[in-house]
Amino acid sequence: MTATKKNYGFATKSVHAGEEPDFRDGATGDVVVPIHLATTFARKKVNEPTAGYEYTRSLNPTRKALETKLAALENAAYGLAFSSGLAAETTLLLSLLKSGDHIIAFDDLYGGTKRLFNHIFNEYDIAASFVDLTDAALLNDAIQPNTKLVWLESPSNPLLKVSDIQAIAAIAHAHNLLLVVDNTFLSPYFQQPLTLGADIVVHSSTKYIGGHSDVLGGSVLLNDETLYNRIQYRQNAVGAVLSPFDSYLTLRGIKTLALRMERHQENALKIAHFLQQHPKVKRVLYPGLPTHPQYDLARKQTSGSGGVLSFEIHGSINDAEQFLERLELFALAESLGGVESLIELPAAMTHASVAKEVREQIGITDTLIRISVGVEDTDDLIADLQQALA
Ligand SMILES: *Cc1c(COP(=O)(O)O)cnc(C)c1O
C-alpha cells in the first residue's frame, strides 16, 4: 500500500512500489510479486464479480505490479506495460490520432519510431513532419491546423541532442497539442518529463529499465484519467500486452535501476574524457561534457547524463569498422541500456536505412560511433578502447 503512495525516494520506490507484501486472508506475504501465469481467473457464481481479474490480456496481477512501479518512478498517476517499446508507441498512437491528423516529431528520432510514422501510420493518412526541436521556436513554424501531437526524444539517438522539454510543452499546450516524450535514454532516474510539462511518457523498457538485455518491453505513463482509460481500452482491444514472465523480469531489473544508472553515468563520463583527449578522436557527444552545446539545459532539466555517448573518429568508414572489430570487451551490437557495454556504427547499423544525404545533413557521418556504456570496471573499458584505437 504505502511505498507507492508515500513520497519516498527513487531507489526506495524502485524496490517497493507495486510489490508490497500481501497480508490478506490466506495470502502468503511474498516480498516479491509472484509470476501469475494464469490466462483466466475464476468467479464463484455466474452473477458475482471476480476478485478483479478476468482474463490476462485485460489485466494480470504481475503486469499490474509493474505498471504500478513504473508509474511511481515517473511520478505518473497511471502506467501501462506493453510487449515492446514499439507496441507501446503503436497503441498510444491508435489512442490519440485518427486519419487526417498530423504529428510533429524530433528529427533525430529512434529509427523504429520514424519507420512507424513514415511507413505504417502514413498509410492511414497520418502524416509526420520532422523538425530540429533543439530550437523550440521551430515548433511554431511546423504547426498545421491538423497537428495533434508533438513527439520528442531528449537526449536523442545517436547525436545526444538535448531539447527544452518545458519550452516545447508550453508551445504545444498553447496550441492544444499533446507532448509525448520518449524517455528511454535517461530512464526516470535522470529525467522525469511529466514534471517538466510533458503529457505522456513512453519507454522502451527493453533498455535501461529492464537493464539486462534479456527482456523486451514498453510502457506508457501519464496523469490524465480520460486518456488513460482510452489507452487501456486499446491495450486490451489491440492486445500487445507484456507477458507475466516478462513483467517479472522487468520488475526484477528495476530494483537496481538507481544503482545501475549511477554506474553507467560514472563510466560514460570517464570514457568521454578519455576519448576527448585522444588524437584519433574528432569529437565526443555526451550531455555530461561542458563542451556539449546544450550542457546548461541538460543540467537544468535532468539530474544526470546517462550511459550513451557518441564520438567521431578521424578517417574513413573502413577505419571505423577496423576499430570496432578490434575491440574485445565491447560487443558489436545494436540496442543499449544493458549492464554490458555495446558499441555500434549508426551509418552501417541502426541508421543504415536512413539515406546517406539525410544522415550527413543531421550529423550522422560514416565515422560516428555510438557506445552504450555498461557497468563493467572503467579501467578495463578504457584499456580496450585504447588498444583498438592504437
Ligand atoms: C529501442 C527503442 C525503442 C523501441 O523499443 P523496442 O522495445 O525495441 O520496441 C523506442 N525508442 C527508443 C529511444 C529506443 O531506444
- pLDDT given at position 3: 53
Look up 57 and say whether it is catalytic: yes
Q: Which one of 53, 57, 255, 326 is the catalytic residue?
A: 57
> Where would I find the H helices in 97-181?
111-115, 138-142, 165-174
- pLDDT given at position 1: 41
- pLDDT given at position 359: 86
Residue type, 11: A
Q: Is the CB of 189 under 6 A from ligand 1?
A: no
CATH dotted code for 10-254: 3.40.640.10
CATH class of the 257-389 domain in this structure:
alpha beta
Look up 207 and say whether it is catalytic: yes
Q: Where are the domains of the chain?
A: 10-254, 257-389
Atom 6 in ligand 1: which residue has the minimum CA distance?
85
Render each residue's pLDDT in the chain as its tens digit; 390 residues. Answer: 445 556 899 999 999 999 988 888 888 889 999 999 999 999 989 998 888 899 999 999 999 999 999 999 999 999 999 999 999 999 999 999 999 999 999 998 898 999 999 999 999 999 999 999 999 999 999 999 999 999 999 999 899 999 999 999 999 999 999 999 999 999 999 999 999 999 999 999 999 999 999 999 999 999 999 999 999 999 999 999 999 999 999 999 999 999 999 999 999 999 999 999 999 999 999 999 999 999 999 999 999 999 999 999 999 999 999 999 999 999 999 999 999 999 999 999 888 877 888 888 888 999 999 999 999 999 999 999 999 999
C-alpha cell at 298: 541538460
Q: Which one of 164, 182, 199, 246 is the catalytic residue?
A: 182
Helix, strand, coil share (%) of the chain residues, nearest 5: 40, 15, 45
Burial class (CB in 10 A: 0-12, 13-18, 19+), 259: middle
The answer to whether the 10-254 and 257-389 domains have the same CATH topology is no
Which of 82, 182, 186, 207 for mutating ligand 1's site (highest number of atoms within 8 Å of CB)? 207
Q: Is the CB of 91 under 6 A from ligand 1?
A: no
Look up 377 and say whether it is catalytic: no
Atom 4 in ligand 1: which residue has the minimum CA distance?
85
Q: Which one of 13, 64, 114, 207 is the catalytic residue?
A: 207
Look up 356 and say whether it is catalytic: no
Report the predicted TM-score, pTM, of the whole model to 2 decimal places: 0.96
Q: Is the CB of 372 under 6 A from ligand 1?
A: no
Single out the residue of 311, 309, 313 nearest to residue 279, CA to CA. Answer: 313
Burial class (CB in 10 A: 0-12, 13-18, 19+), 92: buried
Q: Is the CB of 338 under 6 A from ligand 1?
A: no
CA dist., res. 331 & res. 333, Å (int): 6
- Ligand 1 center to 359 CA (angstroms): 19
Q: Is the CB of 216 under 6 A from ligand 1?
A: yes
Q: Is the CB of 114 under 6 A from ligand 1?
A: no
